[in-house]
Homo-oligomer: A and B are copies of this chain.
Amino acid sequence: VASRQVLVLPGDGIGPEIVAQAERVLARVNDKFALGINIEKGLVGGAAIDAHGSPLPEITLEKAKACDAVLLGAVGGPKWDSVDMSIRPEKGLLGLRSNLNLFGNLRPAILYPQLADASSLKPELVAGLDLLIVRELTGGIYFGQPRGIRELENGEREGFNTYKYSESEVRRIGRQAFEAAQKRGGKLCSVDKANVLEATVLWREVMDELAKDYPDVELTHMYVDNAAMQLVRAPKQFDVMVTGNMFGDILSDCAAMLTGSIGMLPSASLDENGKGMYEPIHGSAPDIAGQGIANPLATILSVAMMLRYSFDEADAAQAIEDAVGVTLDQGFRTADIQSEGMNLVSTEQMGDAVLAAL
């Protein structure tokens, strides 16, 4: 196997703690399955601001461009809340997405049967929930120009942003979503606000065109307000959902919360060629950072996604996912997923348990 380069960016808050456990797991499967993966480290977010004055230092970006996949912890925290918008920790994350062209964000929302109780929804509505949100990640209002805060003629200020999508941007995320649907339940729901926003009128048109190339996928459209309702009302009606950057941010967090266990959910952000960045869906949780109690499973499962999507190593990926399942079956729980009668463990002990199960 040719040498494979993985860049690990622990980031801020609980990032370093959870990434440490994911690295142990990655090292183990690397050995066991002879994956030939080399690990390098880098700084991003608040940690990079502290060290280099920038949330995405040149050296980190170079390493990220050179590697085959990135494993990220999480960025941000109150410490950097008052720094200028242009150098906030989030800009490190957004800069990576944009510079690496990671336009396709896959966010699964899966309810683990062992954690069925954790959902705030009634059990019958979420049992077996397994949906995938495909979010466009390098366009839309997140990156649209012009943007800023300007002074109007009457002297008051106005904040403004631009929401836009070109046909080719919609087409490439659309293809990713149709292909994902083909490999899953064959159902794709495209979410827009085509009754109000022209940007999404074009989005809908392109999705309809693409549908002709995927006759085995059933495409439907839904307005974003209705999609938010339907996720709460009957989430199991969905298989794959595809939407723009902003709506995807909102809906994927909503969907994740339906499982009640966002400490369990990984994500992948992919470019055209399978290069990707992998990170847990949850944030840097500054309130519990440094206590060794964070749940490392979302990051460990992000490693599994990496092996599957960037390295085409389905067996190794499956081994990790199975090990996580065994760990849950054995009753190990970090504080965020703890329930009565279960075995409360620390971040590191959870890592130990997964390694033991591997």
Distance between Cα atoms of A162 and B158 in the complex (Å): 12
The residue from B76, B144, B201 contacting A149, defined by CB atoms under 8 A apart? B201
The residue from B142, B158, B197, B258 contacting A141, defined by CB atoms under 8 A apart? B197
Q: Which residues from 182 to 226 on chain A have a C-beta closer than 8 Å to any C-beta of chain B?
A: 193, 195-203, 224-226
Question: Contacts A122-B122, A141-B163, A165-B159: A228 and B253 contacting too (C-beta < 8 A)?
Answer: yes
By the criterion CB–CB under 8 Å, are B198 and A161 in contact? yes
Question: Contacts A88-B195, A228-B228: A162 and B162 contacting too (C-beta < 8 A)?
Answer: yes
By the criterion CB–CB under 8 Å, are B232 and A159 in contact? no
The residue from B157, B160, B198 contacting A159, defined by CB atoms under 8 A apart? B198
Distance between Cα atoms of A200 and B161 in the complex (Å): 9
A52 at the interface (CB under 8 A from B): no
By the criterion CB–CB under 8 Å, are B156 and A196 in contact? no
What's the minimum C-beta distance from A234 to chain B, rounded to whole angstroms? 7
A314 at the interface (CB under 8 A from B): no
Residues on the B chain within 8 Å of A164, using CB: 158-161
How many identical subunits does the complex contain? 2
What's the minimum C-beta distance from A337 to chain B, rounded to whole angstroms? 14
A4 at the interface (CB under 8 A from B): no
By the criterion CB–CB under 8 Å, are B149 and A234 in contact? no
Residues on the B chain within 8 Å of A28, using CB: none
Question: Contacts A152-B166, A159-B164: A250 and B228 contacting too (C-beta < 8 A)?
Answer: yes
Residue of B nearest to A224 (CB): B250
By the criterion CB–CB under 8 Å, are A198 and B257 in contact? no
Distance between Cα atoms of A200 and B203 in the complex (Å): 24
What's the minimum C-beta distance from A204 to chain B, rounded to whole angstroms? 9
The residue from B125, B144, B247, B253 contacting A120, defined by CB atoms under 8 A apart? B125
Residue of B nearest to A258 (CB): B232
Residues on the B chain within 8 Å of A166, using CB: 152, 156-158
Residues on the B chain within 8 Å of A120, using CB: 121-122, 125, 232-234
Give the 10 A-B residue pairs with the shortest CB-CB distance, closest first. Answer: A159-B202, A159-B199, A160-B164, A228-B254, A225-B253, A229-B257, A158-B166, A232-B257, A161-B163, A156-B167
